[in-house]
């Protein structure tokens, strides 16, 4: 009770002394600090868990512990999620998008910590996923929790959700610009003066905290040793097309494999299948262990030997074309390893797998070209361009890809090739796949908020609240006399006709019976079933707002019946939807 009183007094004081915009700036700074600290905590726990488990492995032979670690890690994660969290915390970015679209940007309080713990166990024990999505979910949840605690409106809470995500990305990669662009491009927040300044504050704060506590080194910090060569532009274009096609494979294969795991109803069966499959893949291809940033660093430094350490393929490290075959298999099986991790019950995201697969793609592409002695490509530069290309394609985020890789390299010397590869990759996958892997599930259900203002407002609307349930129903076997009595007691001109099981069989319109309403001779020999008409369309209770509007546009009607599992619920009118739309538009647009 005392806490509530203190909070109430603080909120009153705040309204009197601090205006709303200044208050948001202050909160964005706080969110940036906390999300930055959370990012550092997660990266360190994963790193030291990985280091502890793999210390002492022989580099020239396979380690059989690779077969056991992933299964054990997923097992611990499933226990934690199933019996302690008791909620689904996978697909972090998709959950943020869903919360923004359908939950008024409200994320459950356990998301402040649950993703950190679960992903530490999963990735530390070898789960082939990334920590970025869990930490973005954590940062977003921190922003949501602070916004709800301080009784802010939907617009402000959504902005703090974005601030948490920006601070988390900036803290992980020490890339403040990438943190801002990720929030605008992937979470699809509106770019306005009211939103860009808080995002800047959170992103810079998160990055500064990371610099202060972890130094200048980043996950795979790399400084360019050779400049961009203009004559290599055709090869960057080809790499963009290649990356776009691989992005399509990444997206489609991930969705398919996860759907296959979804058919397994027993969670422990999923765990065993996912864990065993992941263990086998890591045993054969050790670079698939964990996030893969060590392998990316090795590729950037031209160290190919470390990619086959602890592997059955160690003797192939000096065989040029056999090593390329090995890299191709690593590329192909990365998607399977990632999907086995998440499908089996592990917690992690696609951010790191995308960068890993992109780095291998760029290196593979450059080495193949170099093998033909046509020209000499800088393999490290193409490794970086490949990372940007896969990120642009899989996440549909070309700007995030460009600025992230540019910031990681400590400058913009590769800006032109990054733009070329990312743009071509994005254009390539857009020809086949209009939605990113993040948004594909939500888009299918019509629950995805977008930058398109009208569509965003329609997505946010809860049309079920506008259903009119006060219309008087009548049975089809009733006579005109009964219908006229019903008309005299009603203020509506629409009368649903339902059977004994409350199933809608038709509709009687007042305009259609106006000519015979006062004809007494027809009262007892004319039945409702002869007067009713079939509605031009039906709306299902589970339909999205966009689907409802499509029904109205296709039918040309102003009122449509709502059905739930075959039973009549009520009617929805276009006029009520327009009124609700105007109210939601004002709420969505206000700063």
Compute the distance between CA of residue 571 and CA of residue 557 in angstroms, rounded to an integer: 12
Location of structure tokens 């600025």: 403
Is-same-fold flag (230-453; 457-589)? no
Q: How far is CA 5 from the centre of its chain?
A: 38
Q: What is the CATH number of domain 457-589?
A: 3.10.580.10
**CATH class held by domain 2-214:** mainly alpha
3-state SS class at 540: strand
- The domain limits of the chain are 2-214, 230-453, 457-589
Compute the distance between CA of residue 165 and CA of residue 333 in angstroms, rounded to an integer: 29
State the pLDDT at residue 250: 94
pTM of the model: 0.76
pLDDT in tens, the chain (591 residues): 566 677 777 777 777 778 888 889 999 999 999 999 999 999 888 888 878 877 765 544 446 677 788 888 889 999 999 889 888 887 778 788 878 877 778 888 888 899 899 999 999 888 889 888 899 999 999 999 999 888 888 788 889 999 999 999 999 888 889 899 988 888 766 666 677 899 999 999 999 998 888 766 555 566 677 777 888 899 999 999 999 999 999 999 998 998 899 888 888 898 899 989 998 998 888 888 888 888 888 888 887 777 776 666 666 666 777 888 888 999 999 999 999 999 888 888 888 899 999 999 999 999 999 888 778 888 889 999 999 999 999 988 899 999 998 888 766 778 899 999 999 999 999 999 887 777 766 655 555 554 444 555 555 566 777 788 888 888 988 888 888 888 888 878 888 999 888 888 888 888 878 888 878 878 888 888 888 888 888 888 888 777 887 888 888 788 888 988 888 988 888 777 776 666 655 555 444
Tally of CA atoms within 13 A in the half-sphere of 463 that contains its CB: 27
Location of structure tokens 């193409």: 382
Give the bridge partners for 561, in sequence order: 571
State the pLDDT at residue 450: 47
DSSP, res 189: -
* Buried b or exposed e, range 496-505, using 16+ CB within 10 angstroms: bbbeeeeebe
Element (H, E) at 497: strand 494-498
DSSP string, 301-343: TT--GGGGTTSTTGGGTT-HHHHHHHHHHHHHHHHHHHHHHHH
Compute the distance between CA of residue 346 and CA of residue 356 in angstroms, rounded to an integer: 19
Tally of CA atoms within 13 A in the half-sphere of 441 that contains its CB: 15
State the pLDDT at residue 87: 83
Q: Residue 476 has which token pair?
A: 């089809």
Give the bridge partners for 559, in sequence order: 573
Query: Could you tell me how many helices (H) and strands (E) the chain has, helices first?
Result: 24, 5
Compute the distance between CA of residue 46 and CA of residue 54 in angstroms, rounded to an integer: 12
- Which CATH number among 1.10.15.40, 3.20.20.70, 1.20.1250.20, 1.10.3080.10 corresponds to the domain 230-453? 1.10.3080.10
Tally of CA atoms within 13 A in the half-sphere of 1 that contains its CB: 0
State the pLDDT at residue 356: 92
DSSP string, 432-449: H-SS-TTTHHHHHTT---
């Amino acid at each position: 009770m005392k806490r509530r009183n203190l909070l109430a007094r603080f909120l009153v004081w705040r309204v009197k002394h601090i205006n709303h915009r200044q208050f948001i700036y202050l909160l964005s700074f706080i969110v940036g600090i906390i999300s930055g600290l959370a990012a550092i905590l997660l990266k360190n726990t994963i790193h030291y868990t990985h280091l502890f488990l793999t210390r002492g492995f022989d580099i020239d032979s396979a380690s059989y512990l690779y077969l056991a670690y992933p299964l054990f890690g997923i097992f611990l994660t499933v226990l934690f999620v199933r019996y302690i969290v008791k909620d689904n915390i996978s697909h972090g970015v998709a959950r943020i998008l869903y919360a923004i679209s359908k939950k008024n940007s409200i994320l459950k309080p356990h998301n402040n910590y649950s993703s950190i713990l679960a992903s530490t166990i999963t990735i530390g024990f070898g789960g082939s996923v990334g920590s970025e999505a869990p930490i973005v979910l954590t940062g977003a949840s921190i922003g949501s929790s602070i916004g709800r605690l301080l009784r802010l409106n939907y617009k402000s809470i959504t902005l703090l959700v974005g601030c948490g995500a920006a601070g988390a990305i900036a803290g992980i990669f020490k890339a403040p610009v990438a943190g801002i662009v990720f929030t605008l491009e992937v979470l699809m927040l509106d770019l306005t003066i009211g939103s860009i300044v808080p995002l800047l504050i959170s992103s810079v704060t998160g990055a500064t905290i990371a610099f202060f506590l972890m130094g200048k080194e980043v996950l795979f910090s790399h400084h360019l040793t050779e400049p961009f060569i203009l004559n290599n532009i055709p090869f960057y274009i080809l790499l963009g097309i290649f990356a776009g096609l691989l992005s399509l494979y990444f997206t489609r294969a991930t969705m398919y494999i996860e759907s296959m795991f979804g058919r397994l109803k027993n969670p422990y069966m999923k765990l065993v299948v996912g864990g065993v499959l992941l263990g086998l893949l890591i045993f054969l291809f050790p670079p698939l262990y964990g996030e893969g940033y060590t392998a990316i660093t090795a590729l950037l430094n031209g160290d190919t030997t470390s990619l086959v350490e602890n592997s059955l393929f160690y003797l192939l490290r000096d065989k040029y074309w056999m090593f390329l075959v090995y890299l191709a298999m690593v590329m192909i099986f990365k998607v399977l390893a990632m999907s086995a991790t998440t499908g089996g019950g592990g917690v992690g995201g696609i951010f790191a797998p995308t960068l890993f697969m992109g780095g291998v793609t760029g290196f593979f592409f450059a080495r193949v070209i170099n093998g033909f002695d046509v020209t000499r490509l800088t393999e490290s530069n193409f490794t970086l361009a490949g990372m940007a290309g896969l990120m642009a394609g899989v996440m549909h985020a070309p700007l995030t890809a460009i600025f992230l890789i540019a910031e990681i390299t400590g400058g913009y010397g590769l800006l032109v090739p990054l733009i070329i590869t990312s743009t071509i990759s994005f254009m390539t996958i857009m020809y086949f796949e209009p939605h990113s892997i993040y948004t594909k599930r939500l888009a299918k259900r019509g629950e995805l908020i977008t930058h398109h203002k009208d569509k965003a407002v329609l997505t946010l609307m809860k049309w079920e609240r506008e259903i009119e349930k006060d219309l008087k129903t009548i049975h089809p076997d009733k006579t005109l006399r009964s219908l006229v009595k019903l008309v005299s007691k009603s203020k509506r001109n629409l009368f649903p006709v339902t059977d004994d099981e409350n199933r809608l069989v038709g509709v009687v319109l007042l305009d259609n019976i106006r000519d015979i309403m006062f004809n007494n001779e027809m009262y007892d020999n004319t039945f409702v079933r002869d007067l009713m008409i079939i509605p031009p369309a039906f709306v299902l209770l589970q339909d999205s707002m966009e689907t409802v509007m499509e029904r109205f546009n296709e039918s040309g009607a102003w009122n449509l019946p709502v059905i739930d599992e075959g039973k009549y619920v009520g009617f929805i009118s276009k006029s009520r939807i327009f009124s609700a739309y105007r109210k939601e538009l004002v709420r969505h647009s206000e700063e």
